[in-house]
Amino acid sequence: MKIPLRLFLIAGILAACTSSIKLPVENTPISSLQPTPMSVRATRSWWEDAVFYEIFVRSFYDSNGDGIGDFNGITEKLDYLHELGVTAIWLMPIQPSASYHGYDVINYVDVNPDYGTLDDFKHLLTEAHKRGLHVIIDLVLNHTSDQNPWFIDANNNPQSPYRNWYIWSDTDPGYLGPLGAAWHPGKHGWYYGIFNATMPDLNYNNPVVTAEMEKVVQFWLNSVGVDGFRIDAANYLIEEGQKQVNTQSTHKWFKGFYSAYKADNPDAFTVGEVYGSDAALASTYTDDEMDMIFNFELAADMVNSVNGQTNSAVDSAVVFAGQSMPDWNFATFLTNHDQDRLMTQLGGSADKVKAAASMLLTAPGVPFLYYGEEVGLEGGGLDELKRRPMQWSAGANAGFSTVTPWEQVGPGDQIFNVTDESKDPTSILADYRELLQIRNQHAALRQGDMDLVTSSNAGLYSILRVSRGSESANGVDEAVLVLINLTNAPISNYDLSLDKSPLAPGSYQLVPLMGSGLTADLMVTTGGEFAQQQPVSEIPSYGTAILQLQPDPPTGK
């Protein structure tokens, strides 16, 4: 949901590193050079290993030549998404709405006719599932459209059975909400709408409203077959007087919601939007309320680091996140539909965009990519400009439609598009594909714990990812070292140190999964410690080295 606060987020650090030697990308555990044991993987939910891709249906692909993206258009592009390496899709609101964006719902159990029919959507689900892609949809619980029949009846008639589905006052209570004006004049009194007058808040102190929304959830999970929901504006759900954000009543409601949707489908997934959240706040929602919350703070500090060319901001965010939520059970991202595009925030630098993607896709948590991020779409300011049509080619209308699209195509479409970048091994798209392949094939990057490695050079960000399993020696399956240059110059003057880690003492060969350059063995002492190590001779500007650790064989054998 759009909020009138500017959040500077994005992440930093990847690289256009062209390797001189490319080794096979394999999920090779340290101990036995065998894949991660299935007994370990079997305990994980599907979303814990997923990479999500956020789609604004209106802007993705127009299949019928009306200038508006649609369900069938997404279906036509599923192979592209599968080949990109994402494993799940989040669709922004698909229900009938009074606005172009859809965050004011008129009917919760139907689809927007601009996007096609319910059968078209079910066909999309079927084809996505055939390719192993899960699909979640936006669920706007906090408010409806003022054009929703419930609100129309409630506004026209004080005796309406829907009157108590909303929040009313005979007079203007006179206080503001966290986003500005919260009380709006109706035909018979004042109603509460935390976003604006066209989006009246639902009254979840009324159990009938809760029961109705549980029916909505059952419809989409059981009758239609979606795999879960992204919960819009979760932190505003229930007010306690003038306390309007993150109330105990909201937490209590989500506990009941969690039990209800898990009863419908234990494999259903929810991720919540709690605007501005960090790991500490995310942890308050994820025990038994939602499966996951977006970590806004981490994203903001990632972009601060790549823009500032120093690791201080992201290092602090990583330390805080690890202390507040050591299981890293939150959703990570660079930008979303409410924020200026990644390419725009990073000044049009493709190298910085690659660096940001590298930081995101080597971090723990579950990553969410915003459509077009992988090819360098630009856009900022007005929300519509952040949600422009996808750039598929350098042809007319960027290949999005055969007619003038609902919103103008952004700048750079002659260069930054899927067709041309697919032919260029140094493109943003090529880097995203490589990073996603590496993440999907290496348990350490999907499942592993993370240790922040201290670098003597503030321009270098370094982490160690280690996945564990009881069936492997020392409990370690795979270890991967990630080095990301945050600066616009090569880095060769640095050393790395780590006070402790799960690694067994010994010497480790470093096998490049991404990046190039001469490597030296990593020497680990008791307690998994290492100090003053320089594993790679040089990391290019905005470059990334992803290195798998493999123990040297014992000497004298």
> Catalytic residue numbers?
232, 273
Do 335 and 388 meet the contact criterion of CB atoms below 8 Å apart? Answer: no
178: which 2 tokens? 């966290």
Classify residue 463 by its DSSP letter.
E
Q: Residue type at 131?
A: R
**Amino acid occupying residue 469:** G
Cα-based torsion angle of the residue sequence 311, 359, 295, 378 in order, rounded to the nearest 10 degrees = 110
DSSP H or E stretch at residue 152: helix 149-156
Quick check: 191 and 235 in contact, CB under 8 A? no
Give which of 81, 22, 85, 77 is closest to 50, Cα–Cα.
Answer: 85
Name 139's bridge partners. Answer: 231
- Give the contacts of 86 (CB within 8 A, at least 6 positions apart): 51, 52, 53, 133, 369, 436
Burial-class residue 23 by CB neighbours within 10 Å (0-12, 13-18, 19+).
exposed
Tokens of 151: 């609100």
| Angle of CA points 24, 30, 33, to nearest 5° | 55
Phi, psi values for residue 416, rounded to 5°: -95, 85
Amino acid at the residue 91: L
DSSP helix/strand/coil, 332: strand
Question: How far is the CA of 20 from the CAs of 350, 483, 514, in angstroms?
Answer: 21, 17, 10
Spatial CA neighbour of 552 closest among 528, 522, 531:
522
User: Between helices 296-308 and 312-324, what is the axis angle to 10°?
Assistant: 160
Q: Do residues 377 and 408 lie in contact, with contact meaning Cβ atoms separated by under 8 Å?
A: no
The number of beta carbons lying within 10 Å of the beta carbon of residue 415 is: 15
**Torsions phi, psi for 90 (to 5 deg):** -110, 120
Distance CA 360, CA 342 (A): 12
At 89, the amino acid letter reads I
H/E segment holding residue 467: strand 460-468
Coil, strand or helix: which one is 342?
A: helix
Q: For 163-199, give the DSSP string.
A: GGGB-EESS-----BTTB--EEEETTEEEE-SS-TTS
Cα–Cα distance measured from residue 498 to residue 524, given in angstroms and rounded to the nearest whole number: 9
Sheet holding 460-468, edge to edge: 449-452, 460-468, 476-485, 544-551, 506-514, 522-524
Q: Which of 324, 330, 325, 263 is nearest to 295 (CA)?
A: 330
Q: Answer for the pair 365, 338: CB distance below 8 angstroms, yes or no.
A: no
